């Protein structure tokens, strides 16, 4: 008897980070047979987790912003965030330590936030309202429309209404100029400019479009998944497997096999995996410049070297056998010059002379991530990519941070550190083949926005696609989550 059943198409997705998991799950929902191959021993990419001496350390992202993006993701599969993890809204959202030093809690309630602004600069509460009103518009258009565009053609943006929206979104004005229309107090300026420190350029070179980040921060709030950021990954893995995605770990792809202009599959050390389509969620530069043969590369080494990268990071994961005073869950140390640090990352790349840094103590919110009576401490310094990274340099910065942290807390910390691990450029390269050891992908400059980013579809291999923070829409957890969905949509559209 003839059968109406057709054999499902096969997709290989490379890399089990946010983008890879999202792409794999979206394709599986559409009926594809999907195998996800991950180089490392577990999922998450830069959002991996490790356990040591009773501590649970998130290795990368620690800020949960844009909760609507996660809700929208799970909703497309008929699920809710609450089906997979529990969210806690932090209040205060975070603490900022200004010069002086002056420690200020950033409240979650808008009425208290307006009062804080007014305290620093009379009349600024009303200007904050207008600033956030404009930022909300940018967020609505940018996050709910523009970032879901595959950005493969300028004609995607030819809608007259969208062109009007683009003008209203200040894409041609700098963030530096934009925020100074509203605020003058240097502390308020640092507060509204800090999110762009991780976007890859100084405020003078970052489009004012990115004030949408301030809406995400100050209006939508800072959240925390109970158990740690890796709970998001665990939820995404569960959902993927519920839809039939097969995930294989310790499977580094060493070759994308191409015949007659199409990929027939990929090779790892364990063998060949056949595919009708390949989606590369691993480092774009590595896949294109190392895994693909030269004749199938769209970009050359000169192109990649000309890209402006977002920062790398020097990280310390510390287990401390005492409670830490005067710290919140999130703590931003702006007790040094923000603009100088930014210039040393983006304009004259070097190890920072007097770095700003970030301290996260998730055990302040969640007792499950540290033994009783102890603290889980995560320290991060944004640094330029492509720097020489050695142990002596790491230790020098560790001592510098400890000096400042002990001064702020008012008690010893070094002697109470019972677990210590550092992580920087060479680790990003070893674990993720990260281009120039970057942590956050491509900088969000105007010349690297939308269609000016590396394309998500290979122009040399008909069924090869790219996703993640080196292509559209850009760096960060929510954009990576969106990137996977966007590329899956292009695969489904063309196959």
457 and 427 housed in the same domain: no
Q: pLDDT by residue (tens digit) across 449-465?
A: 889 999 999 999 999 99
Give percent of the chain with pLDDT exceeding 90: 84
Burial of 421 (0-12, 13-18, 19+ CB in 10 A): middle
- pLDDT band at residue 157, thresholds of 50, 70 and 90? confident
List beta partners, residue 484. Answer: none
Q: State residue 166's pLDDT score.
A: 64
- Could you tell me if residue 295 is inside a domain? yes
489 and 461 housed in the same domain: yes
317 and 428 housed in the same domain: yes
Total domain count for the chain?
3
Average pLDDT over residues 425-437: 98
Q: What b-and-e string marks burial along 443-482, b requiring 16 or more CB atoms within 10 Å of the CB?
A: bbbeebbbeebbbbbbeebebbbbbbbbbbbbbbbbbbbb
Domain boundary among 185, 220, 255: 220
Domain, as residue range, for 210: 111-220
- pLDDT band at residue 5, thresholds of 50, 70 and 90? low
Q: State residue 2's pLDDT score.
A: 41
- Please enumerate in sequence order all residues whose Cβ is within 8 A of that of 373, keeping only pairs 6 or more positions apart, or say none: 321, 322, 323
Tell me the two tokens of residue 291: 């895994």
Q: pLDDT by residue (tens digit) across 7-22?
A: 999 999 999 999 999 9
- Residues shown for the chain: 495
Q: CA-CA distance, 307 to 201, in Å (whole number)?
A: 12
Enclosing H/E stretch for 402: helix 391-409
- Could you tell me if residue 43 is inside a domain? yes
Burial of 337 (0-12, 13-18, 19+ CB in 10 A): middle
* pLDDT above 60: residue 1: no
List beta partners, residue 36. Answer: 13, 247
Q: State residue 144's pLDDT score.
A: 84
Average pLDDT over residues 347-357: 91
Average pLDDT over residues 203-208: 87
Q: CA-CA distance, 205 to 461, in Å (whole number)?
A: 34
Q: CA-CA distance, 364 to 338, in Å (whole number)?
A: 26
Domain boundary among 157, 185, 220: 220
- Could you tell me if residue 105 is inside a domain? no
Q: State residue 3's pLDDT score.
A: 41
- pLDDT band at residue 346, thresholds of 50, 70 and 90? confident
SS3 450: helix
Say if residues 143 and 66 touch (Cβ distance below 8 Å).
yes
* pLDDT above 80: residue 27: yes
Q: State residue 484's pLDDT score.
A: 98
Smallest Cα–Cα separation from 492: which of 465, 460, 472, 453? 465
- Could you tell me if residue 40 is inside a domain? yes
From the centroid of its chain, how far is CA 133? 25
Q: State residue 207's pLDDT score.
A: 87
- 25-34, 114-123, 281-290, 438-447: the lowest-pLDDT one: 438-447
- Could you tell me if residue 144 is inside a domain? yes
Enclosing H/E stretch for 487: helix 477-494
- Could you tell me if residue 274 is inside a domain? yes
Average pLDDT over residues 405-422: 98
* pLDDT above 80: residue 198: no
385 and 303 housed in the same domain: no
Q: State residue 163's pLDDT score.
A: 61
Smallest Cα–Cα separation from 385: which of 439, 341, 447? 439
Q: pLDDT by residue (tens digit) across 45-86?
A: 999 999 999 999 999 999 999 999 999 999 999 999 999 999
Say if residues 435 and 353 touch (Cβ distance below 8 Å).
no
Average pLDDT over residues 376-390: 96
Helix axis angle for 110-120 and 186-193, nearest 10°, is 140
314 and 418 housed in the same domain: yes
325 and 416 housed in the same domain: yes
Q: State residue 160's pLDDT score.
A: 66
List beta partners, residue 247. Answer: 36
Say if residues 361 and 220 touch (Cβ distance below 8 Å).
no
- Could you tell me if residue 106 is inside a domain? no
DSSP 78-141: T--GGGT--EEE-SS-EEEEETTTEEEEE-SSHHHHHHHHHHHSTTHHHHHHHHHHHHHHHHHH
* pLDDT above 60: residue 305: yes
Q: State residue 167's pLDDT score.
A: 67
Domain boundary among 220, 249, 279: 220
Smallest Cα–Cα separation from 235: which of 51, 30, 73, 29? 73
Q: State residue 338's pLDDT score.
A: 81
352 and 413 housed in the same domain: yes
Mean pLDDT of the chain: 94
Q: CA-CA distance, 239 to 249, in Å (whole number)?
A: 17
- 26-40, 53-67, 133-147: the lowest-pLDDT one: 133-147
Q: pLDDT by residue (tens digit) across 255-287?
A: 999 999 999 999 999 999 999 999 999 999 999
244 and 150 housed in the same domain: no
Tell me the two tokens of residue 147: 């970032």
- Could you tell me if residue 91 is inside a domain? no
DSSP 304-350: HHTSPBPPEEEEEEEEESS--TT--SEEEEE-S-HHHHHHHHHTS-S
300 and 449 housed in the same domain: yes
CB atoms inside a 10 Å sphere around CB 441: 28
Q: State residue 4's pLDDT score.
A: 46
Query: From edge to edge, which strands make up the β-sheet containing 33-37?
Result: 246-248, 33-37, 10-14, 277-280, 464-466
Tell me the two tokens of residue 133: 């009103």
317 and 389 housed in the same domain: yes
272 and 315 housed in the same domain: no
315 and 408 housed in the same domain: yes
Give percent of the chain with pLDDT exceeding 70: 97
* DSSP for residue 406: H
Q: CA-CA distance, 209 to 446, in Å (whole number)?
A: 10
CB atoms inside a 10 Å sphere around CB 359: 25
Assign residue 337 the CATH number of its domain: 3.30.519
* pLDDT above 90: residue 170: no
Query: Per the confidence metrics, is the pTM higher than 0.75?
Result: yes
């Amino acid at each position: 008897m003839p059968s109406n059943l057709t054999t499902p198409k096969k997709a290989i997705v490379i890399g089990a980070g946010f983008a890879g998991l999202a792409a794999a799950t979206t394709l599986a929902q559409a009926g594809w047979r999907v195998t996800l191959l991950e180089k490392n021993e577990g999922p998450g990419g830069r959002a991996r987790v490790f356990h040591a001496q009773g501590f649970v350390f998130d290795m990368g992202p620690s800020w949960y912003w844009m909760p609507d993006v996660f809700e929208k993701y799970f909703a497309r599969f008929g699920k809710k965030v609450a089906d997979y993890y529990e969210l806690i809204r932090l209040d205060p959202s975070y603490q900022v330590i200004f010069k002086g030093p002056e420690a200020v809690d950033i409240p979650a309630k808008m009425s208290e936030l307006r009062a804080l602004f007014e305290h620093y600069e009379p009349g600024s509460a009303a200007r904050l309202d207008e600033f956030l009103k404009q930022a909300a518009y940018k967020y609505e258009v940018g996050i709910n429309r523009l970032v879901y565009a595959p950005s493969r053609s300028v004609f995607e943006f030819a809608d007259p209404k969208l062109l009007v929206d683009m003008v209203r979104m200040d894409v041609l004005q700098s963030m530096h100029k934009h925020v100074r229309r509203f605020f003058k107090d240097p502390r308020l300026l640092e507060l509204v400019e800090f999110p762009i420190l991780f976007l890859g350029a100084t405020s003078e070179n970052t489009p004012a479009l990115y004030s949408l980040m301030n809406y995400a921060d100050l209006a939508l709030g800072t959240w925390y998944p109970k158990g740690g950021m890796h709970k998001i990954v665990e939820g995404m893995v569960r959902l993927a497997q519920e839809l039939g995605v097969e995930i294989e770990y310790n499977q580094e792809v060493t070759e994308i096999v191409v015949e007659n202009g199409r990929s027939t599959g990929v090779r790892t050390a364990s063998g060949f995996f056949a595919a009708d389509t390949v989606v590369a969620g691993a480092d774009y530069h590595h896949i294109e410049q190392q895994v693909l043969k030269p004749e199938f590369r769209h970009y050359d080494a000169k192109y990649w070297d000309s890209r402006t990268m977002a920062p790398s990071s020097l990280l310390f994961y510390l287990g401390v056998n005492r409670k830490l005073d005067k710290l919140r869950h999130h703590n931003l140390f702006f007790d040094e010059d923000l603009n100088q640090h930014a210039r040393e990352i983006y304009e004259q790349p070097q190890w920072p002379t007097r770095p700003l840094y970030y301290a996260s103590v998730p055990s302040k919110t969640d007792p499950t991530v540290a033994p009783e009576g102890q603290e889980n401490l995560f320290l991060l310094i944004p640094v330029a990519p492509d720097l020489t990274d050695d142990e002596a340099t790491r230790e020098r910065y560790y001592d510098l941070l400890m000096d400042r942290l002990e001064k702020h807390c008012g008690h010893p910390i070094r002697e109470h550190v019972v677990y210590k691990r550092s992580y920087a450029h060479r680790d990003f390269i070893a674990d993720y083949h990260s281009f120039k050891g970057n942590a956050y992908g491509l900088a969000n400059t105007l010349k690297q926005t939308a269609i000016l980013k590396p394309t998500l579809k290979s122009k040399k291999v008909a069924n090869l696609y790219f996703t993640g923070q080196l292509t559209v829409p850009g760096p960060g957890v929510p954009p990576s989550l969106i990137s996977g969905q966007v590329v899956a949509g292009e695969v489904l559209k063309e196959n």
